[in-house]
Amino acid sequence: PTTLPGWSTGASSHSAEEKAAAAASSGSGSRDPLAELQMLFLPCAVGTFAIIASCVSGIYAVGAVRYADKEFEHPYKPWLDSHNDKEGRHYRGFKASQNCVEWAVYTLPLLWIFGLYAPSLPMVGNFMPWTGGALSLVYAFYNNAYVPAYMASAKDRLLPFTRRTLAFKAIAAGAGAGVLFSVAKGITDLVV
């Protein structure tokens, strides 16, 4: 399979002459392995930053509502009626921001597994790092929209929640497929 410049999927169909020409054009005669890893995992790094930023954004959204209430007392005790506004925005926002953090715990490792193993998939592997990056940006976008939507009403949360969940499922499926293909390839390499 053909790879994008600076990307490697582990298997190469380039001839020795092509490799020598690429090494000579790079100026040093060999590629910097750290730079290659950085390029390979750049989509995961961007996605990680976006997902974490969306969680922090949700925390700030809750804080804006909470601190607009001049009678609010620290620490926040969501089980007390006196710590929640009449519309329930404090409590729904608190639940939503906690939900964002909880989902991030599952999503971030899967994103990095996706980035590491999905490139091994035949025919589509070269596109998988940036596919994972794009999926993580979709996830972060809807994660960011989830908290304000849930603070508005419980019903309004459904669209961002559903779309974030679809992005999560796609990341999980890509990670799982990459791992399964890598395991199958490892087994066949042992047998052959």
pLDDT in tens, 110-123: 999 999 999 999 98
* pLDDT, tens digit (0-9, with 9 covering 90-100), for 46-83: 999 999 999 999 999 988 888 887 777 777 777 777 77
The pLDDT assigned to 174 comes to 95
* SS (HEC) of the chain: CCCCCCCCCCCCCCCHHHHHHHHHHCCCCCCCHHHHHHHHHHHHHHHHHHHHHHHHHHHHHHHHHHHHCCCCCCCCCCCCHHHCCCCCHHHHHHHHHHHHHHHHHHHHHHHHHHHHHHHHCCCCHHHHHHHHHHHHHHHHHHHHHHHHHHHHCCHHHHHHHHHHHHHHHHHHHHHHHHHHHHHHHHHHHHHC
Q: What number is the average pLDDT over the span 31-55?
A: 93
Query: Is residue 185's pLDDT more than 60?
Result: yes
Higher pLDDT, 47 or 84: 47
pLDDT per residue over 121-161, tens digit each? 998 888 888 999 999 999 999 999 999 999 999 999 999 99
Residue 85: the pLDDT is 77
Query: Among 10-19, 82-91, 158-167, whose mean pLDDT is lowest?
Result: 10-19
State the average pLDDT for the chain: 85
Sorting pLDDT into bands at 50, 70 and 90, what band is 22?
low
